[in-house]
Structures are given as structure tokens and as C-alpha cells.
Amino acid sequence: MQDFSFKSMLISSVAGSLITLLMAYASGSSFAALPFPILAVLAGFLITGILEGLISRAVNIFEPAMSAVIVSVVLYFALPALQLKGLQEMTTTHLVVILMNGIVLSALGGWAGEKLHGTIAYGVREEPVEWGWALCGIILGVTVTMFTSSTLVIVLGFKLMEHFIAYLIGLFLAGFIIGYRSRGIIFEEAGIAGFTTVVINVDIVCVALGMLDLSIILSGLAVGIIATYFGGWLGERIHSSRAPEPTRSATSLFGAMMMPRSK
């Protein structure tokens, strides 16, 4: 793992939790409508990621992601306890979906913070993630899952199991293409693409059909990420069989897991 700094992660987690809670309290106390506190919470996650990128000397995606997870745990217990008028309509499922989106925004904020800090500007340090392939995977995953789901609705009507299978196929194909077409180790990119695609799909479905059950969201998140990882692993193995020496070195524990074993 590239120069993981527990200290900077802890500082940004504490600061991010305080900032996010303060913003949620200010908005939730002033407005009775749920969207405004949600916007405040998501803005707090962005600030957490940017702060992590600014104070850290490391170049990796795990510090802002871990900071966001810690902030999410704090908010999961703290927001309901505040009993704010703006959060009265918020259910546990609402909160989980908000926190999932917050983790994505915090990771993006971490990248922006490192750009501002200069640690990945002008070739000072190598970026730990090939963001082009991560973005490609997100676009492919969302496109395939939306296309297959909308087609199945026309042909079969709405059936949850068929849509869930189509959703997994889309994520598997996204991971496979990343692994097959990228120039080296892509485990991080597959993880980012899988998680973000799941979050976007949950957002789309919740807007179109209403809030899903929490069990469906959590199971879809876990199985979807596994499907993307498996697709990435299979694509990488096929790619490695044709070009045994990866062109990008394994720079993290996850990256090392993707390196083909020597015979």
C-alpha cells in the first residue's frame, strides 16, 4: 500500500465527522424538509475527502475512503440521536443510501485535495488509480445494467430476480473489460467502478421506483462488488496470459493479489 498514513486519516476522520455533524445540525435545525440536511451531509463528505488529500503526503485512494467509512459510522449513530426536525422523515434505509453516496463523494474529494496539494500534479508522483479505466468501468456498468433492465421490463415485465441477474451481468462485464483492456494491475479500478456503479444504480432505482428495502440494497452492494472484482480478475488473467509481464507494478496489497504467479 502506498505510504498509508494513519495519522492523516485519523485527523481527517475526526475533522470530517465534526464538520459534517455541524453542517447537518445547522441545516436540520433550520429546515424541516429532508433534502436540505442531505445536501449538507454530502457536502461534509466532500470536505472530508478534500481535507484528507490536502493534509496527507501519501498518494492513494484508501485514506479518503477509510476516512469516509469512519465518518459514515459516526453519522449512522449520531444523526438519529440528534432528532433534528429536518431529519424526522429519514429512515434507516435513507441514511444508508446517503452514506453510500457520501463515500463516493469523499473519494472524489480526496483526489481533488491531492491535486490541490500537488502530490499528483506535474508528474510529482504516480497516481495510484487509473481514473480513466475506473470511469470507463462506471460508465459501462451503468449503461449495461440500465439497458438490460429496461429491455427486460419490455419483454418480461418487472421481475426483481431477472433485474438482479441483469445487474450482475452488467457489473461483471464492466470489470472484465477493465481487466482485459487496461495496461496492468486493475484491482483498485474494479473496486471503485463496482462500488460507484452500485450506488448510481441504487440512486436511479430509488428515484424511479421509490426507496428499496435495506436488505436488497446491502446485498446488491456486496454481490455487485464481488461480480465486478471477479470480472476484473478474469479479464486480467486473460490479459496476463497474453502479456505475462504487467506494465504497471502492484503498488498495494490489492494490486499484489492481482499479479500472476510465476510458474
Which residue has better confidence, 247 or 98?
98
- DSSP per-residue string spanning the chain: --S--HHHHHHHHHHHHHHHHHHHHHHHHH--STHHHHHHHHHHHHHHHHHHHHH-----SHHHHHHHHHHHHHHHHHHHHH--GGGTT--HHHHHHHHHHHHHHHHHHHHHHHHHHTTTSTTSS--SS-HHHHHHHHHHHHHHHHHHHHHHHHHH---HHHHHHHHHHHHHHHHHHHHHHSSS--HHHHHHHHHHHHHHHHHHHHHHH-PPPHHHHHHHHHHHHHHHHHHHHHHHHHHHHHS-S-SS---SHHHHHTSPPP-
Which residue has better confidence, 230 or 205?
230
Q: How confident is the model over 62-91, as a mean pLDDT?
A: 88
Is the pLDDT at 118 greater than 50, yes or no? yes
The pLDDT tens digits of the residues spanning 193-203 come to 888 888 988 88
Is the pLDDT at 146 greater than 50, yes or no? yes
Which residue has better confidence, 41 or 260?
41
pLDDT at residue 261, rounded to an integer: 36
pLDDT at residue 186, rounded to an integer: 59
The pLDDT tens digits of the residues spanning 32-65 come to 878 888 889 999 998 888 888 788 766 566 777 7
pLDDT at residue 128, rounded to an integer: 56
Is the pLDDT at 11 greater than 60, yes or no? yes
Is the pLDDT at 143 greater than 80, yes or no? yes
Which residue has better confidence, 11 or 115?
11
> Band of the pLDDT at 110, cuts 50, 70, 90?
confident
pLDDT at residue 125, rounded to an integer: 47
